Amino acid sequence: MSVIPRGAPSDIDTSAPPFDQLSSVRRLAANRSGRDSDTHARHHLYVGRDKRTRTDILVKLTTKPGLIYEHNLLNEIASLEIINRERPHARYFPVLLDHGRLGDGRVYLSTYLFEELPLATAIDAEPVPAKMVAHLRTAIEISRVLMELHSLEIVHVDLNPMNILRREEAGWPVIRIVDFESSYAFARHSTGIFYNPPTTPGYTAPEVAHQAPDARADLYSLGAVLYTMLAGYEWTLAGDVREAIASNATVDSDLRRILLKAVALDPDRRHASAADLQRALTAYLEQIWPGRPGPGDRQP
């Protein structure tokens, strides 16, 4: 029996897979910053170092055995298998290394630990006009990632500032989208696979509650995320992003129109695709910051 390191979580067996292949296992906070966390609603996150490769590994584990807790994580595993198979070299998404069940029945998956931090950690409490260009560039790059995802006929469904990870590389935003528990994969779910996704109030498109989502659901979420970057989190107290955008006179009218189209209640009134939203944001960026490159100008 292996000795559990001081400070290691006590609800896992470090001598059994997948933790037996890791050293210095500890639980992560929800923001993946490395601080110890309290219990999550649906899952725990652990990090450890692979004993062979010395790379840092992230393990996502349901909090309890049973269907209520495992459906969403099994859905994430299935979506990541498609993404990794069809886009093996894409750096926009997690790489699924392993998955299975613990002896007590709980479902787990493991991926590499990401260098990026959640976008939420970079969002200010109040608007910071000097960051407008940076926020637009980030949103344009997120739309690029969505274009890649939607080409696989997968919709994330629950984009929010916690599951969009960001860092900068040579002055460019580098985006990774994680947490695919709510994802809708047309190849799977259109055949009747159970689908009852967890959602984030204010960020998830309203139609998800009563119909199968399509790519436009992610455009709604991206509109809400971009507005949060621009205005801060105060709008979430009321929970209606459309009203918040429409009543915010500090947002330029051209940008306000782009945002309101993204978060339209009727999907048919939104931008038709992530590429359309990207073009609208790129044109606006060129309008306010002419002649400067944006993330969309960089080759992936």
Give the burial class of 245: count Cβ atoms within 10 A of its Cβ; 0-12 exposed, 13-18 middle, 19 or more buried.
Answer: buried
Distance CA 266, CA 207 (A): 8
Distance of alpha carbon 148 from alpha carbon 187, whole angstroms: 16
Q: What does the mean pLDDT of the chain come to?
A: 89
At 272 the pLDDT is 97
The model's pTM is 0.90
Answer whether residue 118 shows pLDDT above 90. Answer: yes
> Residue 175: how many CB atoms within 10 A of its CB?
23
- The pLDDT score that the predictor gives to residue 294 is 52
For 194-218, how does the pLDDT look when each residue is reduced to its tens digit (9 = 90+)? Answer: 888 889 999 999 999 999 999 999 9
Closest Cα to residue 140, out of 289, 31, 19, 283?
283
Residue 8 parent element (H or E): none
Q: What is the DSSP annotation of 104-122?
A: TS-EEEEEEPPS-EEGGGG
Q: What are phi and psi of 168, to 5 degrees?
A: -110, 140
pLDDT digits (tens, 9 = 90+) for 53-86: 999 999 999 988 778 778 999 999 999 999 999 9
C-alpha span between 134 and 228 (Å, rounded): 13
Give the other-Cβ count within 10 Å of 70's Cβ: 19
Domains detected in the chain:
19-112 (3.30.200.20), 117-297 (1.10.510.10)
Sheet holding 172-177, edge to edge: 117-118, 164-169, 172-177
